[in-house]
Structures are given as structure tokens and as C-alpha cells.
């Protein structure tokens, strides 16, 4: 979510805090109260009325919007999941992932596994850690041994907010 407010973490946090402060000054707004379905349909009475008629509407209290919007959102998520599965069918181990990311990011595998702190290599390493740990489920310690860095460094990189380009792998 912070990426909507800025490219760098500190900048994004400051802009988000400003956004929230501006919203607080507007006071309570009825159209922004309740879960997505309740708000979209106009209140609980509408929800109960539709349920009595046997009408089911897609809903998720985390999403603000109509059932149609939610269905399009879920469709997009399903497509991303399909792309992820296609990606994983081609990459099953850390060495294959390292080759793929190195090629895609324009660096060598040895640079990825080096201690280099250049912007390009650091970005590729963060991406590698994120995909390996968060998407593929490898333990941080295993990824750390593969890269020759500490487990702490891998976990920080895997959860980094600065993951430009991760969409290609997820």
C-alpha cells in the first residue's frame, strides 16, 4: 500500500501519515463505515433483504466496492496466481531461481551471490530473497547459505518494501 504514496519507504510513510491526518480532519463519514458489502448495498437491511430472496453477492469486508468490483479483483488475483504457478513449474530450486533473476535483472549469478552493494545487484538480491522465502517457501537460513550472507540479511531483504520488479515473478 505504501508504494501508492512514494517510491522510498520514508517518503511514503510521511505522505501516508499526511493523508491520514487530512482524513481525520474530515470527521466521521457514513459512507466509509462498515464492511465493503454493507457499505456497497446501503446497510444491513439491504443485505438481509437480498439474503431472504436467496441472492448472493460477492463480498469481502477488506474490500470497499461492489460485488462486481470484488469479482474482478478476485479474477485478477487468480490470474496472478496462475502466472506464479507457471513460473514455479519452471523454477524449482534456488540455483534455477538465481539464474532466472540474474538474467532478468542483467547481472551475473556470481554478482548475485557476491557481497556487492551496487544498486542493481542489491535490487536483484532483494528480489531473489523475496521470491525464495515468501513465494517459494524456502527457509531464510537455506537462502542465506546459498547467497553467503546472514539469515537476518535474507529475512530483511525478503520483507523489504523496495521490491521493484517482483511482479515478473509473482
**Full DSSP string of 105-163:** HT--HHHHTS----HHHHHHHHHHHHIIIIIT---HHHHHHHHTS-HHHHHHHHT-S--
CATH class name, domain 90-170? mainly alpha
Instruction: Give 67-71 contacts, CB < 8 A, sequence gap 24+.
Output: 67/37, 67/40, 70/36
Residue pair 113/146 in contact (Cβ under 8 Å)? The answer is yes
Mean pLDDT for back-to-back runs of 10 residues, the chain (170 residues): 82 91 81 57 67 66 65 76 60 87 93 91 93 89 94 92 55
CA distance 31 to 8: 32
DSSP-assigned letter for residue 56: -
| CA atoms of 151 and 154, how far apart (whole Å) | 5
pLDDT for 141 equals 95
* pTM (whole model) above 0.85: no
Domain boundaries, the chain: 1-33, 35-73, 90-170
Contact 84, 170 (CB under 8 A): yes
The per-residue pLDDT for 97 is 92
pLDDT at 170 (0 to 100): 46
Per-residue confidence (pLDDT) for residue 85, from 0 to 100: 55
Amino acid at each position: 500500500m505504501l508504494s501508492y504514496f512514494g517510491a522510498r519507504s520514508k517518503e511514503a510513510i510521511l505522505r501516508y501519515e499526511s493523508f491520514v491526518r487530512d482524513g481525520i480532519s474530515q470527521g466521521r463519514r457514513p459512507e466509509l463505515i462498515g464492511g465493503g458489502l454493507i457499505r456497497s448495498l446501503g446497510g444491513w437491511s439491504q443485505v438481509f433483504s437480498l439474503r431472504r430472496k436467496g441472492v448472493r453477492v460477492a463480498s469481502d469486508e477488506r474490500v470497499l466496492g461492489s460485488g462486481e468490483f470484488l469479482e474482478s479483483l478476485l479474477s485478477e488475483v487468480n490470474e496472478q496466481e496462475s502466472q506464479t504457478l507457471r513460473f514455479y513449474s519452471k523454477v524449482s530450486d534456488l540455483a534455477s531461481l538465481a539464474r532466472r533473476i540474474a538474467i532478468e535483472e542483467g547481472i551475473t549469478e556470481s554478482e548475485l551471490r557476491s557481497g556487492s552493494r551496487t544498486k542493481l545487484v542489491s535490487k536483484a538480491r532483494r528480489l531473489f530473497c523475496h521470491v525464495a522465502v515468501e513465494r517459494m517457501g524456502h527457509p531464510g537460513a537455506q537462502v542465506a547459505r546459498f547467497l553467503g550472507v546472514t539469515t537476518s540479511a535474507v529475512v530483511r531483504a525478503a520483507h523489504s518494501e523496495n521490491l521493484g520488479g517482483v511482479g515478473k515473478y509473482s
